[in-house]
Amino acid sequence: RPETIVPLAAMLGGYYRCRGWNEEGAPTAKKLKQLGIETLGTEPTVPLV
């Protein structure tokens, strides 16, 4: 039903901002500091696969 279609892509940026994430869906430096895990984004990462 067309009247129930929600424009999720258009709403995604606002959702990310509300969560403290950047436009790619990753937490911002400010959010990481707020959570007490600011080193999370600065250390080298290892692929999970």
Task: Report pTM.
Answer: 0.60
22 vs 24: CA distance, rounded Å: 5
Question: What pLDDT digit, counting tens, does each position of 4-19 carry?
Answer: 888 888 899 999 999 9
At 15-39, the pLDDT tens digits run 999 999 999 888 998 998 999 887 7
The domain ranges of the chain are 2-41
**Of 4, 5, 22, nearest in space to 13 by CA:** 22
Q: What is the 3-state secondary structure (H, E, C) of the chain?
A: CHHHCCCHHHHHHHHHHHHCECCCCCECHHHHHHHCCHHHHCCCCCCCC
CA distance 41 to 12: 22
